């Protein structure tokens, strides 16, 4: 059995019609690959179209501000991807005449492009003989070969790259890589793979040994950190008090509300007795407090508590990264999804309540 040929035949018959598969333009492929990292196709597709429409070339992308990129990225998560893309776009625009490279050895030097992305771009755009290994390919290879080495261990990463290189179709590397990834995404799925219609199941080690659900093996190394963010909503006339976040934490360089972080849940009344509260506000009255909202990140769980304060601006000890912004400006600022959703709900509800009074 020619394993690669069988999977490519399946791919040609069953592949999804995705826009980045109809081009060899390295910039477009790069855009799609980075957007789809840690992101489902269904979620990433609208972002891909929006970015490509607004920034049709890498030079156009390079001309954007960080705020513009992060605002367009809002809701997609892993915001460092957007910042790295902007850095890379500017580097290409300045040093490579706006021509996006297609060679693996050039791509791997760019910020935010690792072995997987460099192999994907080079093979899809220029048919370079480089085997792509992503989560879907790990799963397909682990089941096919019956490989029990953990995919997230150093030894496992080396092993699966060797296996991927071994099965790579050197005459059609781009199509082979696309087929492997699509096969893992659509048929050899993590849960409930459709082995009944699999064209290569008879030679699949996991299928023959009844280990489909136990492969691939992955080490459990992620430690989840729980954080409690007590946000303060302070508005004055048609303005709202915002905070620009630092580069040293989640949501780097984005905008949220002034907050006090506590190690555990802290009741609203107790917050007013904290030294930080007294340092920020000379005098403030609690108007209302929201239910806790949970936001799940890869290594963190954020529990956000929103407290609406009535406070005179003169009674606020403004911090270096705090500023008042017009409500209309919120549409232009990059906000973490949990902040954007809360403000949208809060001000919409406030508007509805006002309308009901008249």
Q: Which residues are catalytic?
A: 33
Q: Is 340 helix (H, G, I), strand (E, B) or coil?
A: helix
Answer whether 32's CB lies under 8 Å from 100's CB. no
Q: Which residue has the tokens 């156009």?
A: 60
* CA distance to 64, 251, 331, per residue, from 82 (Å): 11, 11, 18
Answer whether 112's CB lies under 8 Å from 81's CB. yes
Which H or E run contains 234? none
Distance CA 206, CA 208 (A): 6
261 phi and psi angles, rounded to 5 deg: -90, 135
Answer whether 86's CB lies under 8 Å from 61's CB. yes
Which residues sit opposite 230 in a β-bridge? 260, 305
Burial class from Cβ neighbours inside 10 Å (0-12, 13-18, 19+) for residue 42 reads exposed
User: Which residues lie closer than 8 Å to 357 by C-beta, 6 or more apart?
Assistant: none
Distance CA 349, CA 358 (A): 15
Answer whether 3's CB lies under 8 Å from 205's CB. no
Q: How many CB atoms lie within 10 A of CB 308?
A: 17
């Amino acid at each position: 059995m020619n394993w690669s040929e069988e999977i490519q035949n399946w791919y040609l018959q069953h592949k999804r019609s995705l826009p980045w598969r109809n081009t060899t333009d390295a910039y477009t492929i790069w855009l799609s690959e980075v957007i789809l990292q840690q992101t489902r196709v269904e979620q990433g597709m609208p972002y891909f179209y929006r970015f490509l429409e607004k920034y049709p070339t890498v030079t156009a992308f390079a001309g954007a501000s960080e705020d513009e990129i992060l605002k367009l990225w809002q809701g997609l998560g892993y915001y460092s991807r957007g910042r790295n893309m902007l850095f890379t776009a500017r580097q290409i625009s300045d040093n490579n005449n706006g021509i996006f490279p297609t060679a693996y050895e050039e791509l791997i030097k760019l910020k935010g492009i690792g072995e997987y992305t460099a192999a994907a771009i080079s093979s899809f755009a220029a048919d370079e003989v480089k085997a792509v290994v992503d989560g879907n390919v790990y799963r397909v290879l682990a089941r096919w070969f019956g490989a029990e080495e953990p995919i997230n261990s150093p030894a496992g990463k080396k092993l699966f790259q060797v296996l991927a290189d071994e099965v790579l179709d050197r005459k059609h590397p781009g199509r082979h890589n696309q087929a492997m990834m699509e096969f893992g995404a659509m048929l050899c799925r993590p849960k409930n793979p459709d082995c009944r219609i699999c064209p290569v199941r008879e030679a699949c080690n996991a299928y023959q040994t009844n280990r489909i659900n136990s492969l691939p093996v992955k080490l459990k190394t992620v430690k989840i950190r729980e954080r409690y963010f007590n946000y303060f909503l302070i508005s004055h006339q048609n303005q709202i008090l915002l905070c620009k976040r630092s580069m040293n934490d989640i949501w780097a360089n984005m905008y949220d509300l002034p907050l006090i972080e506590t190690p555990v849940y802290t009741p609203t009344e107790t917050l007013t007795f904290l030294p930080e509260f007294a340092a920020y506000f000379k005098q403030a009255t609690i108007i209302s407090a929201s239910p806790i909202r949970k936001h799940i990140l890869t290594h963190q769980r954020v529990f956000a508590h929103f407290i609406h304060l009535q406070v005179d601006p003169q009674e606020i000890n403004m911090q270096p990264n705090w500023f008042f912004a017009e409500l209309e400006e919120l549409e232009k600022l990059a906000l973490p999804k949990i902040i954007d959703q809360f403000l949208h709900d809060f001000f919409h509800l406030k508007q509805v309540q006002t309308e009901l009074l008249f």
